[in-house]
Amino acid sequence: MATHYAPQTPLRLIENAKLFSPPEGQRVGLLAWRSAQTEGHYTAVRRLSDRQHLGEAATNLFRYLRELDALELDLILAEHVPEQGLGAAIMDRLRRASGGR
């Protein structure tokens, strides 16, 4: 099932949240991997791992997606994680959750 992991809120994958401007007037959440100092631009931010540790990110992934989904946002953005080891599995889940967006 391609969208098995999909939240109700639309999810979009992005490379770097610092280079993205959320649409004006929309409530946008961020599932961050690398970005710091993004809190002012987003309604809510959840960092997968403060230490950029893939194991910690994998542990936090679904909990943070559910938390952001529960906030009744217009959009959830998720930054790409490195696609090595557990990162490949995390990106697979994020791609499924985004429905390929």
Q: Is residue 51 part of a domain?
A: yes
Q: Which domain holds residue 45?
A: 11-98
Give helix 54-69 / helix 86-98 axis angle, nearest 10°: 20
The verdict on residue 57 lying in a domain is yes
- Specify the number of domains making up the chain: 1
In the predicted model, residues of the chain with pLDDT beneath 70 are 1-5, 35-39, 100-101
pLDDT for 99 equals 85
Token reading at 47: 């960092």
CATH number, domain containing residue 44: 3.40.50.11030
Q: What is the pTM assigned to this prediction?
A: 0.89
- Give a yes or no: residue 5 inside a domain: no
Q: How far is 34 from 81, CA to CA, in rounded Å?
A: 8
